[in-house]
Chain A
Amino acid sequence: MKKPVLKDKGMFPEQYELLERTSSPVLSRRRFFKYMGTGLASFLLVSDVLSSRALANLGADERSIAEDTIAAWIQIGEDGKIKVFTGKVEVGQNIRTSLAQMVAEELFVPVKDIEMIMGDTRLTPYDRGTYGSLTTPQMGPKLKLAAASLREMLKELAVQEWSLGKGSLQLEKGYIHHPNNGKRLSYAQLANGKKLLRKVDEKVSLVPSGEWKIAGTSVPKINGMAFITGKHRYTSDMVLPGMLYGKVLRPPTYGARLKNIDTEKARNVQGVTVVQEGDFVGLTAPDSRTAAMALAIIEAEWHTVPQPGREDLFQLLKEQGETKEGDQEVEDMLQAAGAVLEQRFEIDYIAHVPLEPRAGLAEWTGDQLTVWTGTQRPFGVQEELQRTFQIPKDNIRVIMPDTGSGYGGKHTGEAGIEAAKLSKAVGKPVKVIWTREEEFKWAYFRPAGVIEARSTLAQDGKLAAWDFHNFNSGSAGIDTPYAVKKKNSQFHASESPLRQGSYRALASTANIFAIESQMDDLAFLRKMDPLAFRLQNLEDGRLKDVLLATTEAFGWTKAKPTEHGYGLACGAVKGGFVATCAEVQVEPGSGNVKILRLVTGFECGAIINPAHLKSQVIGCVLQGLGGALFEAVDFKDGKILNASLSAYRVPRFGDVAEVEVVLLDRKDLPSAGAGEAPIVGVAPSIRNAIFDASGHKINRLPMLPTGKVPV
């Protein structure tokens, strides 16, 4: 059996999905506590996602931090301002707002009284990273418990202060009111630096969702003003006294090693310092123009090694995929069946293209290092810096200012590390901002993949056998949500020619594309309506509900012009349930495809902020259009051929179809994250609509690089 791919191409959390089927058993809760020692009840909320591999990487200090006290999460200043601490970071999900709402609700204070301190390794409790739609379901409850515990503690203090027996106290806008004499005490007066080290009460009662006044409402983006006035400072905007601009020399192709280098001309440029440590060559200059010019006149020769190109990609991923024993029963059923639907799907690499490229600013003060960088994992970057410089983690502070997006693409800390290396060498603060070209070439991509699926139906039209294999793109969403008599879904790790990592919704997009394409084609073979066919095979009530609400809003049963097609798709991802209906037009003469309308229904439990949730759904759907229709990374001989925004197309204004969002608010259910799930229905619903309109089955992503179906 082929060994799983474990070589270090940069394995980031979430990318565990590329490994988990072959290694890293998920740790049991019991073992986790044993490992973690005592007094860490608040970790309970995150234990399920930690693998033993990840745990082994935790430092001793992380294993012993007592983060079960209120003070670790919430502090009340003497001015009455409430500071909330979380290692989660803001990259545009608007969790700065939604988390503040959840805390405000429990504390009976307005959102404006809350300051969120986020993603600062010195100030906030350890956090593995902001990914996987985990903020709302995991950090939300954790902060709510801390806030409610604080509230109850304040009430106790007020009872003591007023020598009251048990009685009901009214809380409002940061004050506790005396039950009968009209007096009131502010939270600041009561807290007064006291007793915040009390443990978070895991059993404290929370405000029931039916009584929410702040959570569940469309509170506008915190600091929204700073963004529309240009005043918000992203990492790339930050300046320190004496700061220099850094650049790093990149190889001409992947896998190239330095043979010879002549940096003399660059060194002779006024203000330029060249830094060389093995294959790492960088420089600093007083301004970015000088830095770029000096970099351009470094003369370097490289050893190159042959690299695969895009034309060989899918063959390669399949051939080098690990072999696994299939399921004999499924195989027998498929062999015995009269009609088997067998399909292969190909998924290209795509790029995240965060509009703010990677940026890092580093400053050394003696042996203390501070790095500001836009990363989804500030604590992960702290670990990367620790490995790079071999200094104690306590000497390293990583701060993450609200950043120009990530979409899963900023789990790493390259620019921050480069800035720190250069800063250490030149003894001044250094800022490194990647160019768009660097971001395309030296970040990482959403994995490419090959999916092979076979399925067959029983006499009654229900799914009988299902065999599903994903090579390289990932295992997220690989399990069909439909009831099948006997199924086998397997992920096969492979050798990726390009550096790959997490991307919004991971492989759910690819897997659900294949699953929902199969479902549509099976419905067609059975001569059944795609909606009726799905409902017949679906058992999950929440998914059924969202499917029905979406098709109703779309008008699934309404007549349509002949050139038009309707398509639908649904899926359950990271605690969210989504369905998308698409209407497309395929011009018979030209084969031109127009995406006319996309209706997406989404249910993720109790809604915290309806406006921002709607915005996330819209953003997912429209970003998903890119990967569905035209985005693909082109590469050959170790080079990315479309590493610019003029060559790599992303959705723009003119690509925007009519988008409608239907939100189902389930106040009775815990809130789940929403930044990922709504992307998964886009591609398959459009694929199925194109089939409905034209009879063309397009089993690859992107589907329409030329905008046309073959005619």
Chain B
Amino acid sequence: MKINVNGKDHTVSVNGNPSLLEVLREQLDLTGAKYGCGEGACGACRVLVNGAPVASCIMPAVNLQGNPIITIEGLEKNGILHKVQKAFLEEDVFQCGYCAPGMLITAVALLDRDPAPSKEAINSAMQGNICRCCTYPLIRKAIDRAIKNGENHEKAGVER
């Protein structure tokens, strides 16, 4: 089966009905998306599917034909960080960093949908992502920074 990841087509095996996460990590060696819970409850495995943040651990890979996927590895474009990555780097957010890929993907999807979300909208969008080190206030600051810096950057997403 063919899937499109980060703008490239890949032929992958779907024997045994693997999850998208398993395909990304084990067949394409894209290990940015993480396993955290296996039930879509922690956000560590999130990737963008048609621009929406999706829990790849519970998404069967067979559902994804013709649906472009962006992983954390695909946010950087021509060596230039995505504005959300840049903001997270500048705020020096992370401790262990394991939640980072999922956090960034969710934040990218949020700001693509709503460039100036309210505090409540941020809470609601990020509620599905666990940072067990509990750096939540720093993550919020990074999102606020990305919003502020937002106007000067092009929109990221599936159209690339």
| Measured CA separation A402–B94 after assembly (Å) | 13
* A33 to B: closest C-beta gap in Å: 37
Chain B residues with CB under 8 Å of A93's CB are: 95
Contact of B22 among A234, A289, A611, A625 (CB under 8 A): A289
Q: Provide the main secondary structure of the chain B interface.
A: loop
Contact check, B134 vs A355: say whether CB atoms are below 8 A apart: no
Contact check, A218 vs B92: say whether CB atoms are below 8 A apart: yes
In the complex, A570 has a CB within 8 A of chain B: no
Chain B binder among A20-28, A222-230, A518-526 = A222-230
In the complex, B117 has a CB within 8 A of chain A: no
In the complex, B115 has a CB within 8 A of chain A: no
Contact A645/B130 with A237-B31, A288-B26, A436-B38 known, Cβ cut-off 8 Å: yes
Interface residues of A in 654-700 (CB under 8 A from B): 654, 656, 659
In the complex, B41 has a CB within 8 A of chain A: yes
Chain B binder among A304-312, A543-551, A615-623 = A615-623
Contact of B41 among A293, A616, A646 (CB under 8 A): A646
Contact check, B96 vs A404: say whether CB atoms are below 8 A apart: yes
| Measured CA separation A365–B99 after assembly (Å) | 34
Contact of B42 among A233, A355, A433 (CB under 8 A): A355
* A245 to B: closest C-beta gap in Å: 8
Interface 0/1 of B87-101, CB less than 8 Å to A: 011001011111111
Interface 0/1 of A208-231, CB less than 8 Å to B: 000000000010110011011111
Contact of A650 among B75, B89, B132, B139 (CB under 8 A): B132
Contact of B137 among A233, A435, A436, A656 (CB under 8 A): A656
* A220 to B: closest C-beta gap in Å: 4
Contact check, B95 vs A645: say whether CB atoms are below 8 A apart: no
In the complex, B56 has a CB within 8 A of chain A: no
* A658 to B: closest C-beta gap in Å: 9
Interface residues of B in 121-152 (CB under 8 A from A): 122-124, 126-127, 129-140
In the complex, A455 has a CB within 8 A of chain B: no
Chain B residues with CB under 8 Å of A592's CB are: none
In the complex, B1 has a CB within 8 A of chain A: no
Contact check, B96 vs A618: say whether CB atoms are below 8 A apart: no
| Measured CA separation A92–B100 after assembly (Å) | 12
In the complex, B10 has a CB within 8 A of chain A: no
Interface 0/1 of A621-649, CB less than 8 Å to B: 11101000000000000000000111000
In the complex, the chain A residue whose C-beta lies closest to that of B105 is: A230
Chain A residues with CB under 8 Å of B22's CB are: 287-289
Contact A654/B16 with A230-B73, A234-B98 known, Cβ cut-off 8 Å: no
Q: How many residues in A have their beta carbons less than 8 Å from beta carbons of B?
A: 61
Contact check, A659 vs B137: say whether CB atoms are below 8 A apart: yes
Chain A residues with CB under 8 Å of B131's CB are: 355
| Measured CA separation A218–B137 after assembly (Å) | 17
Interface 0/1 of A428-471, CB less than 8 Å to B: 00000101110000000000000000000000000000000000
| Measured CA separation A657–B123 after assembly (Å) | 12
Q: Which of A220, A293, A407, A619: most chain B CB closer than 10 A?
A: A619
Contact check, B26 vs A646: say whether CB atoms are below 8 A apart: no
| Measured CA separation A497–B24 after assembly (Å) | 40
Contact check, B92 vs A221: say whether CB atoms are below 8 A apart: yes
In the complex, A133 has a CB within 8 A of chain B: no
In the complex, A373 has a CB within 8 A of chain B: no
Contact check, B96 vs A623: say whether CB atoms are below 8 A apart: no
Contact check, B134 vs A354: say whether CB atoms are below 8 A apart: no
In the complex, A110 has a CB within 8 A of chain B: no
In the complex, the chain B residue whose C-beta lies closest to that of A655 is: B136
| Measured CA separation A616–B92 after assembly (Å) | 13
Contact check, A356 vs B89: say whether CB atoms are below 8 A apart: no
Contact A293/B16 with A618-B134, A645-B42 known, Cβ cut-off 8 Å: yes
In the complex, B114 has a CB within 8 A of chain A: no
Q: Which of A224, A229, A356, A405: most chain B CB closer than 10 A?
A: A229
Contact of A653 among B32, B95, B136 (CB under 8 A): B136
Contact of A230 among B71, B96, B127, B140 (CB under 8 A): B71
Contact check, B95 vs A94: say whether CB atoms are below 8 A apart: yes
Contact of A652 among B75, B95, B130 (CB under 8 A): B130
Interface 0/1 of A339-383, CB less than 8 Å to B: 000000000000001111100000000000000000000000000
In the complex, the chain B residue whose C-beta lies closest to that of A611 is: B92
* B133 to A: closest C-beta gap in Å: 5
Contact check, A287 vs B92: say whether CB atoms are below 8 A apart: no
| Measured CA separation A611–B142 after assembly (Å) | 14
Chain B residues with CB under 8 Å of A405's CB are: 95-96, 98, 132-133
Q: Which of B16, B73, B92: most chain A CB closer than 10 A?
A: B92
In the complex, B154 has a CB within 8 A of chain A: no
Chain B residues with CB under 8 Å of A618's CB are: 134-135, 137-138
Contact of B95 among A619, A625, A644 (CB under 8 A): A619
* A427 to B: closest C-beta gap in Å: 21
In the complex, A240 has a CB within 8 A of chain B: no
In the complex, B5 has a CB within 8 A of chain A: no
Chain A residues with CB under 8 Å of B38's CB are: 435-437
Contact check, A654 vs B34: say whether CB atoms are below 8 A apart: no
Chain A residues with CB under 8 Å of B37's CB are: 436, 644-646
Chain B residues with CB under 8 Å of A644's CB are: 37, 39, 41
Contact check, B100 vs A287: say whether CB atoms are below 8 A apart: no
Contact of B134 among A220, A436, A612, A623 (CB under 8 A): A623
Chain B residues with CB under 8 Å of A646's CB are: 37, 39, 41
Interface 0/1 of B1-39, CB less than 8 Å to A: 000000000000000111100100110011111111111
Contact check, A623 vs B133: say whether CB atoms are below 8 A apart: yes
In the complex, B76 has a CB within 8 A of chain A: yes
Contact A436/B72 with A353-B132, A622-B136, A653-B129 known, Cβ cut-off 8 Å: no
Contact of B34 among A218, A356, A619, A652 (CB under 8 A): A356
Contact check, B89 vs A228: say whether CB atoms are below 8 A apart: yes
Chain B residues with CB under 8 Å of A625's CB are: 134
In the complex, A232 has a CB within 8 A of chain B: yes
* B66 to A: closest C-beta gap in Å: 22
Contact check, B132 vs A232: say whether CB atoms are below 8 A apart: no
Contact check, B137 vs A355: say whether CB atoms are below 8 A apart: no
| Measured CA separation A228–B89 after assembly (Å) | 7
In the complex, B48 has a CB within 8 A of chain A: no
Chain A residues with CB under 8 Å of B96's CB are: 91-92, 354-356, 402-405
* A346 to B: closest C-beta gap in Å: 25
* B17 to A: closest C-beta gap in Å: 8
Interface 0/1 of A79-100, CB less than 8 Å to B: 0000000000001111000000
Contact check, A355 vs B94: say whether CB atoms are below 8 A apart: no
Chain B residues with CB under 8 Å of A623's CB are: 132-134
Contact check, A229 vs B72: say whether CB atoms are below 8 A apart: yes
Q: Which of B17, B35, B127: most chain A CB closer than 10 A?
A: B35
In the complex, the chain A residue whose C-beta lies closest to that of B25 is: A237
In the complex, the chain B residue whose C-beta lies closest to that of A234 is: B98
| Measured CA separation A650–B42 after assembly (Å) | 10
Contact check, A224 vs B92: say whether CB atoms are below 8 A apart: yes
Given A234-B98, A287-B18, A654-B123: 7 more A-B contacts, CB < 8 Å? A94-B95, A228-B88, A228-B94, A287-B26, A623-B133, A645-B39, A646-B37
Residues of B with Cβ closer than 8 Å to A? Answer: 16-19, 22, 25-26, 29-39, 41-42, 44, 71-73, 75-76, 81, 85, 88-89, 92, 94-101, 104, 122-124, 126-127, 129-140
- The 8 A-B pairs of least Cβ separation, nearest first, read A230-B32, A92-B96, A404-B98, A92-B95, A227-B97, A230-B72, A622-B134, A237-B31
Cβ contacts A to B, 11 pairs, < 8 Å: A218-B92, A220-B89, A228-B81, A236-B31, A236-B35, A239-B31, A615-B95, A622-B134, A650-B132, A653-B127, A653-B139
